[in-house]
Amino acid sequence: MDLFNKNSNQNILPFDGEVLNYGLILNNKDCQFYLNTFLNADFWTHDELAMFGKRIKTTRKVAWFGDLDHQYSYSSSVKHAIPWTPELISIKNLIEKETGEVFNSCLLNLYHNGNEGMGWHQDNEKELGKNPVIASLSLGTARKFSFKHIQTKQKVDVVLEAGSLLLIKGETQENWLHSLPKTTKIKFPRVNLTFRNIYN
């Protein structure tokens, strides 16, 4: 099933989870301001993943922010939160107002072009608790984001434009994988902000 970005706030998953599509919550001017701010920031680091018993440094870059010195572990890598920037606080406040949720941390991913993406995975680390709520805001070039049910293999694709917001909650992480597919057609960067709660 293919979905383009519609501001419906309705669940785009057919069963076993909740992914609410809020559509565009930022205008073009704000999107460009935040994108330029983050692209020129000095907080980015290359991500490191454990693959086949080796440590792999990705071309994709990441940054981890939080209320306190929260730790977030995935793929045998531990991130220590750095203090919020004013821009991130503004976005966080907007997302909390839109969704009615409250978040204490945010993982930023910088994809320089379509050659960088994320394979199928779940955000089910113990620090996130059971049935985590994650708000995902996109900036930069539009990219396809995919979900795949673990048992049935049914797929749902959604195109995420700059300024669009997804709220992922319920049993989604238990029953669905998600990915950002690579594509040679995309030549421009995308910054993804995923607000979440860490319990440690």
For the chain, 200 residues long, give each residue's pLDDT as a single digit of tens. Answer: 444 444 458 899 999 999 999 999 999 999 999 999 999 999 999 877 665 566 678 789 999 999 876 666 555 566 778 999 999 999 999 999 999 999 999 999 999 999 999 999 999 888 899 999 999 999 999 999 999 999 999 999 999 999 999 999 999 999 999 999 999 999 999 999 999 998 87
User: What global pTM score does this model have?
Assistant: 0.89
Q: What is the dihedral of CA 123, 113, 157, 89, to 10 degrees?
A: 50
How does DSSP classify residue 84? P
| DSSP H or E segment with residue 87 | helix 86-99
d(CA 120, CA 128): 18
In Å, how far from its chain's centre is CA 161?
Answer: 13
- The CA distance from 133 to 129, in Å, is 9
Buried/exposed 13-28: b ≥16 CB within 10 Å, e otherwise = beebbbbbbbebbbee
3-class SS of residue 190 = strand
Domains, the chain, ranges and CATH?
Answer: 2-49+65-196 (2.60.120.590)
What distance in Å separates the CA atoms of residue 56 and residue 192, rounded to the nearest whole number?
21
